[in-house]
Amino acid sequence: MKFSHILPRSSQSIKRNLGIALLATILLTTTIYAQQIDNSLKLVNAARKQVGVTIIYDPAYIKLTYPGGDVSLERGVCTDVIIRALRDARNIDLQKLIHNDIKTSFSAYPQIWGLRKPDKNIDHRRVANLQTFFKRNQQYAVSLPLSDNDYKPGDIVTCMLPGNRPHVMIVSDKTSFWGVPLVIHNIGSGAQEEDCLFTFPITGHYRLK
């Protein structure tokens, strides 16, 4: 008789524990998702703050402090939008991270500039190096398939401009009249928020963790 009474209680206990575990999982997943959205919007807002501040496209080589080095805020290139936004929103210093990664794995990075050793003044400001870093370091970003959808706020997208000139931009939380996400970038006239996500062939799509 005692044994027959234990089973129902045990079954109820198991169901109760499963219910608690399921609820905890749902709450944790919701919290993580909310945090991801918050981090993405912070990155977008950090990029948007550069609009009207960075007004000049200037690819000149400049000797920078290290770490945390930057050119004057009123000028820069497309990569500087990403670098500044990540520092501001996520406290991620691509100058330091990429420099350290290139020091340990120089041959893994593109050899198209004639360099024989890392250069902390310019390495992080090159699109091809950003692409290589994100692909090599999955703890910072996930490399996503190239497609015409699934572009979310805060995603980093690279493309190829005419003349084989690489470019990088951040996906905005705003969309065009047609529902296409805008991007924040510096393509020649300073930091701008524009409708040109699919204007040029996309070469990379990365989502930060």
pLDDT at 21: 59
Please state the rounded mean pLDDT for residues 106-135.
96
Residue 11 has pLDDT above 90, yes or no: no
Please state the rounded mean pLDDT for residues 26-34.
47
Distance (Å, whole) CA 152 – CA 120: 30
The identity of residue 159, as a single letter, is C
pLDDT at 33: 45
Residue 26 has pLDDT above 50, yes or no: yes
pLDDT at 5: 53
Distance (Å, whole) CA 194 – CA 116: 37
pLDDT at 147: 87
The rounded percent of the chain whose pLDDT value lies above 90 is 79
Asked: is 2-208 a CATH 3.90.1720.10 domain? The reply is yes
pLDDT at 148: 82
Please state the rounded mean pLDDT for residues 54-69.
98
Q: Write the pLDDT tens digit of every residue in 163-208.
A: 999 999 999 999 999 999 999 999 999 999 999 999 999 999 999 9
**Collapsing DSSP states into helix, strand and coil, what is residue 131?**
helix
Angle, nearest 10°, between helix axes 94-104 and 127-136?
70
**Collapsing DSSP states into helix, strand and coil, what is residue 101?**
helix
Sequence-ordered list of residues with C-beta below 8 angstroms from that of 103, at least 6 positions apart, any chain:
118
Which residue reads 């699109």 in tokens?
A: 127
> Which range (26-35, 101-110, 144-153, 158-167) has the least confidence?
26-35
Beta partners for 205?
157
Q: What does each C-alpha distance from 138 to 18, 36, 199 come to in angstroms?
A: 33, 16, 28
Residue 25 has pLDDT above 80, yes or no: no
Q: Write the pLDDT tens digit of every residue in 100-115.
A: 999 999 999 999 999 9
Average pLDDT across the chain, whole number: 90
User: DSSP for 28-90?
Assistant: HHHHHHHHHHHHHHHHHHHHHTTTTT--EE--------TTT----TTEE-HHHHHHHHHHHHH
Higher pLDDT, 46 or 36: 46
Domain-wise residue ranges, the chain: 2-208
pLDDT at 176: 97
Residue 31 has pLDDT above 50, yes or no: no
pLDDT at 28: 42
pLDDT at 38: 83
pLDDT at 174: 98
